Chain A
Amino acid sequence: MSTPELYGIAAEFTTAEAVTAAARHIKNAGFRRFEAYTPMPVEALDELIAGKQVALPLLIFCFGCIGFLVGFFMQYYLAVVDYPINVGGRPLNSWPAFGPITFEITVVFAVGGAFLAWFIFNRLPRLGTPLSAIPGFERATIDRYFLCVEASDPRFDRARLRWLFERCGAHRIAEVAA
């Protein structure tokens, strides 16, 4: 009997502390391709799994800068170059008056960019993950914590992982079909 293709091995934990400890063990054991699924942000998992995420804020900053340039130079071009109106002899490039619209467009670019970037970085939207098939995974958004080591990990070893998860006090262990 041939075994179906494997996505990884997942373990279910009942507390945030347990899943954090397990993630630390897994990481110390040299695994790299693993992910935790939790009903709320668990800060300790950030450095174990997610890392610093430098690119995202930088990208949002760039979006904001683009918004600033678009906002200001749109007004500059339209009010100074394309359709200049002399208002009481004041300078055409009355930049303080362009401030509010520049600011609003900066913000909407940054917020919109953050929204888009977030979806793209997370590879969302999608219909589901292979984990959706394992029993009890629906509680990952309610009150259970899952840790899944993916089969693509160079050190992936079914028996060793099962043993590790059990030692960490996993509530349940399941193999995830790809």
Chain B
Amino acid sequence: MTLLADIREAPPVEPGQNLATVSNRVSDIALRMPTPRWWWAGFGASFLLFIILCIAAGNLFVSGIGIWGVNIPVAWGFALANYVWWIGVASGGTIISALFFITRSEWRTAVNRVAETMTLFAAAAAGLMPIFHLGRQGLFYWLFPYPNVMGIWPQFRSPLLWDFFALLCYIIASILFWYIGLLPDWAALRDRAPTRWQQVFYGTLACGWTGAARHWKRFRVVYGIMCAFMAPMVMSVHSIVGLDFAGGLTPGWHSTQFPPYFVFGAVYSGFATVLFLVLPIRRLYRLEAFITEYHINALAKMMLATGLMLTYSYALEAFMPYYSGNPYDVKQIRNDFFDLYALQYWGKILFNVVIPQLLWFPRLRLNEPLLFLVSVGIIFGMWLERYVIVVSSLYQDFMPSAWYFFAGSLWDWLTLAGSIGLFLTGIFIFLRLVPIIAMFEMRELVHREEGAG
């Protein structure tokens, strides 16, 4: 097939680029380009959703958890599903950036900035959810081990507390990692800034970076070490999210496969979200020369691969109850298959397992509208997965008298929509102010290609 050969030959950056064109093209987006119309439209819509989040949260703080659909036994509803969903997207971004830096994958260069930024805002959206879900949000600081007049401490043997520490440490480390990777690019923006406020703004962020050889050497040392820490950290963060569930005795949760199962899902949704962002960005900002079909193809293949890992976990999830013979586990998986939340269960199978099989075909992988839709489907499917895990495992308790049908209330849905608004608002601000491609890594790549060519 000629197409296959073409893709294999496709360069990670289009020929004809040099150091100056890389810098000019990427930095002009932030510095000189007039704000495009689509940006105002997208930002406006996202900001509206963000305001909805503020309203939903405000009502929650005033009225309490009762405005949501949760009730015993479904005490974990949307907030937990949203939490796992967002932290999954965040984790996927770090994996792309850190793990594939360690493997020196060339396709990472053009998309790592988008992936890291996505991590930040997704982690912010994720971090809000458990706090919302506390009945008394103002007391969230009780999770910190701080000396208090009650003379007690948090329970360090609980996965939920591990989760608090993991998320907190992860957000701090992600911000530092993101910022240090941006320094050389802030400096490039500073040096090309046409107006005074931009010089001051980017100059402040650049912290006086000049690209001295000693600084570069230390930069590479520190960046490599940070990647080597971030990659296992992100695995641990999402494994701990899995342990939140596995640590409970509830059928459907109490499974040793949950940590890797959740990590697969996280990376999967990370790839889907990166594609969801990168496909339109490269067209709208005309960055086809830097984010080429090579990247699209690589991302789609990685997405397919992680999708298959997740499929394996789904299969195991269905197989183990029958293999163990535990009647409660069997009942749980039969509930998933056939009962009230079967639609959501089969929806997740459709979006996460069946449709992505299209990506086996190179022609379909490079069909951008189709790939975009598949990615959106996966993002949606991943939310369904978490919804099923949380709700379907809880609604039929050990006590039939307590069985309960859970459905999200209006405020549940508004909170979900609002968290998407928070994420997209952040992304749109990033698209306007931050170099959306790591320019110095791109220069290295261009330089290497020039040497090779």
Asked if B191 is at the interface (CB within 8 A of a chain A CB), the reply is yes
Minimum Cβ distance to chain A for residue B111 (Å): 18
**Which residues of chain A have C-beta atoms less than 8 A from B219's C-beta?**
41, 118
Contact flag A112-B172 (CB < 8 Å), given A41-B444, A83-B152, A122-B218: yes
Contact flag A60-B165 (CB < 8 Å), given A78-B156, A111-B176, A142-B192: no
Bound together, the chains give a CA A37 to CA B151 distance in angstroms of: 56
Q: Is A114 a contact partner of B226 (Cβ separation < 8 A)?
A: yes
Q: Which of B43-51, B205-213, B356-364, B415-423 contacts A (4 or more CB under 8 A)?
A: B205-213
Minimum Cβ distance to chain B for residue A152 (Å): 16
Q: How many chain-B residues does the 8 Å CB contact rule pick out? A: 64
Bound together, the chains give a CA A47 to CA B220 distance in angstroms of: 13
**Which residues of chain A have C-beta atoms less than 8 A from B180's C-beta?**
115, 118
Bound together, the chains give a CA A114 to CA B436 distance in angstroms of: 24
Asked if A57 is at the interface (CB within 8 A of a chain B CB), the reply is yes
Q: List 8 A-B contacts (CB under 8 A).
A: A37-B213, A74-B145, A98-B156, A107-B169, A115-B176, A121-B218, A127-B208, A141-B188
Nearest chain A residue, comparing its CB with the CB of B214 = A50
Q: Is A108 a contact partner of B161 (Cβ separation < 8 A)?
A: no
Q: Choose among B19, B220, B232 the residue with the greatest number of A CB atoms under 10 Å from its CB.
A: B19
Minimum Cβ distance to chain B for residue A14 (Å): 10
Nearest chain B residue, comparing its CB with the CB of A138 = B191
Which residues 171-208 in B have Cβ within 8 Å of A in the complex?
172-173, 176-177, 179-180, 184, 187-188, 190-192, 207-208
Minimum Cβ distance to chain A for residue B24 (Å): 8
**Which residues of chain A have C-beta atoms less than 8 A from B215's C-beta?**
122, 124
Minimum Cβ distance to chain A for residue B124 (Å): 17
Bound together, the chains give a CA A125 to CA B205 distance in angstroms of: 9
**Which residues of chain B have C-beta atoms less than 8 A from A114's C-beta?**
222, 225-226
Known: A35-B214, A118-B219; 20 extra A-B contacts, CB below 8 A, are A35-B213, A39-B23, A39-B188, A40-B19, A41-B216, A49-B213, A50-B213, A57-B225, A75-B156, A83-B153, A100-B240, A100-B243, A104-B162, A108-B173, A111-B176, A114-B222, A115-B180, A115-B222, A127-B208, A143-B443
Nearest chain A residue, comparing its CB with the CB of B215 = A122
Bound together, the chains give a CA A49 to CA B240 distance in angstroms of: 44
Bound together, the chains give a CA A100 to CA B247 distance in angstroms of: 14
Spell out A's residues near B (CB within 8 Å).
16, 35-42, 45-46, 48-51, 53, 56-57, 60, 64, 74-75, 78-79, 82-83, 85, 87, 94, 97-98, 100-101, 103-105, 107-108, 110-112, 114-115, 117-119, 121-122, 124-129, 131-132, 138-143
Nearest chain B residue, comparing its CB with the CB of A83 = B153
Asked if B155 is at the interface (CB within 8 A of a chain A CB), the reply is yes
**Which residues of chain A have C-beta atoms less than 8 A from B230's C-beta?**
107, 111
Q: Is B212 a contact partner of A112 (Cβ separation < 8 A)?
A: no
**Which residues of chain A have C-beta atoms less than 8 A from B152's C-beta?**
83
Q: Is A104 a contact partner of B236 (Cβ separation < 8 A)?
A: yes
Spell out B's residues near A (CB within 8 Å).
18-20, 23-24, 145, 151-157, 159, 161-162, 165-166, 168-170, 172-173, 176-177, 179-180, 184, 187-188, 190-192, 207-222, 225-226, 229-230, 232-233, 236-237, 240, 243, 440-441, 443-444, 447
**Which residues of chain A have C-beta atoms less than 8 A from B207's C-beta?**
119, 124-126
Q: Give the contacting residue for A131; candidates B145, B151, B165, B210; CB below 8 A.
A: B210
Q: Is B213 a contact partner of A141 (Cβ separation < 8 A)?
A: no
Contact flag A129-B210 (CB < 8 Å), given A40-B443, A53-B218, A104-B170: yes
**Which residues of chain B have C-beta atoms less than 8 A from A40's C-beta?**
19, 184, 211, 216, 440-441, 443-444, 447
**Which residues of chain A have C-beta atoms less than 8 A from B18's C-beta?**
143
Bound together, the chains give a CA A97 to CA B243 distance in angstroms of: 12
Q: Is B444 a contact partner of A110 (Cβ separation < 8 A)?
A: no
Nearest chain B residue, comparing its CB with the CB of A45 = B213
Bound together, the chains give a CA A35 to CA B212 distance in angstroms of: 6
**Which residues of chain B have C-beta atoms less than 8 A from A98's C-beta?**
156-157
Bound together, the chains give a CA A103 to CA B154 distance in angstroms of: 17
Minimum Cβ distance to chain A for residue B434 (Å): 16
Q: Give the contacting residue for A142; candidates B161, B188, B226, B236; CB below 8 A.
A: B188
Bound together, the chains give a CA A87 to CA B207 distance in angstroms of: 51
Minimum Cβ distance to chain A for residue B451 (Å): 9
Minimum Cβ distance to chain B for residue A39 (Å): 6
Nearest chain A residue, comparing its CB with the CB of B234 = A107
Q: Is A110 a contact partner of B225 (Cβ separation < 8 A)?
A: yes
Nearest chain A residue, comparing its CB with the CB of B166 = A104
Q: Which 8 A-B pairs have the closest CB atoms?
A: A50-B217, A125-B207, A143-B19, A138-B191, A108-B169, A126-B208, A104-B169, A97-B157
**Which residues of chain A have C-beta atoms less than 8 A from B443's C-beta?**
39-40, 143
**Which residues of chain A have C-beta atoms less than 8 A from B145's C-beta?**
74, 78
**Which residues of chain A have C-beta atoms less than 8 A from B211's C-beta?**
37-40, 140-141
Q: Is B156 a contact partner of A101 (Cβ separation < 8 A)?
A: yes
Q: Is B209 a contact partner of A124 (Cβ separation < 8 A)?
A: yes
Minimum Cβ distance to chain A for residue B226 (Å): 6
Bound together, the chains give a CA A141 to CA B218 distance in angstroms of: 17
Q: Is B153 a contact partner of A78 (Cβ separation < 8 A)?
A: yes
**Which residues of chain B have C-beta atoms less than 8 A from A53's C-beta?**
217-218, 221
Nearest chain B residue, comparing its CB with the CB of A54 = B221
Nearest chain B residue, comparing its CB with the CB of A75 = B156
**Which residues of chain B have C-beta atoms less than 8 A from A87's C-beta?**
157
**Which residues of chain B have C-beta atoms less than 8 A from A117's C-beta?**
222
Minimum Cβ distance to chain A for residue B93 (Å): 16
Contact flag A37-B212 (CB < 8 Å), given A111-B230, A143-B23: yes
Q: Is A46 a contact partner of B217 (Cβ separation < 8 A)?
A: yes
